[in-house]
Amino acid sequence: MTKRFGDFVAVDDLSLDVPEGKIFGFLGPNGAGKTTTLRMVLDMLRPDGGTIEVLGRAPGREALSEIGFLPEERGLYRRMTAFDTIVYFGRLKGMRADAAKASASRWLERLGLGAAGAKRIDALSKGMAQKVQLGAALVHEPRLVLLDEPFSGLDPVNQAMLEDVVLELARDGATVVFSTHVMQHAERLCDRLLLLGRGRKVFEGTQDEARRTLPVRLSLTADRTPGDLPGVLDARAAKGGDGWTEWDVTLRQGADPGRLLEACFDRGVRLRGFSEHRPSLHDVFVHLLGREAVETPR
């Protein structure tokens, strides 16, 4: 799909496939096109090119009863109570009044708002109001949950609570798509992820596949340089003493650390330490998009 606003291309020939029942991370810097894409999935915006299928059908009103959406721009009726707000959104999704009230009570308790149900939205803190909006997105037990920057504005305790909720939703069979520019949340949650940069797909796959876009780095303590061993791209001495040197080793793309270990034994390189550095998603993010895109989002 492609979406333009005048001469600006917000989403540029993007294709993605979200597996049912999985947690899918939609990652990228601010301004990368994440929110625009989610709005097209919800039929709030129409693509200028391409097609979209949501739960087996084209986007539209018929699909909305099975979708829960937490927008990045929070918006609630400030004079309604927390309980009435969640019930109201449940009724909008076609729930009976008694079912909506029962579900609202459950979500208020689950989100730590049991004592705040009778309070008006304008009397709640920003974080509490955000949890009310999350309850409103989930009250009807949707099959597909779209969360746009859901961790923004939450303190660390409530961020951890939200991560638990996301995992519970997936265990119960829901498909969860969440957008974020904070890699730590994606690292803890995602089955699959898509990295978006300037409206274009930069990467799609599993976390392990994402990490394999980076060369393997090792710390190796040996009695001589490993620089001439098979698969080694670069070996730099970090520190040493007593006949041993610790080396920072970078392997060539696709090289296997296990083969390097075998080569050390075959060629008589004595070892006192051998460990692999597991790259983080942040490392992948910087590698694929460049530090400027990470540190200076559009």
**CB contact at 8 A, 203 and 213:** yes
- Cα–Cα distance between 144 and 27 in angstroms, integer? 18
Tokens at residue 198, please? Answer: 């300037």
pLDDT for position 217: 92
Amino acid (one-letter) located at 14:
L
Would you call 207 helix, strand, or coil by DSSP?
Answer: helix
Q: Nearest 5°: phi and psi at 97?
A: -60, -45
Q: What are phi and psi of 256, to 5 degrees?
A: -100, 125
pLDDT in tens, the chain (298 residues): 999 999 999 999 999 999 999 999 999 888 899 999 999 999 999 999 999 999 989 998 888 889 999 998 878 999 999 999 999 999 999 999 999 999 999 999 999 999 999 999 999 999 999 999 999 999 999 999 999 999 988 899 999 999 999 999 999 999 999 998 888 999 999 999 999 999 999 999 999 999 988 989 999 999 999 999 999 999 999 988 888 999 999 999 888 999 999 999 999 999 999 999 988 998 999 888 876 455 443 3
Q: Residue 21: what residue type?
A: G
pLDDT at 78: 94
Distances in Å between the Cα of 116 and the Cα atoms of 69, 87, 107, 124 are 22, 14, 12, 8
Q: Which domains does the chain have, with CATH numbers?
A: 3-211 (3.40.50.300), 217-278 (3.30.70)
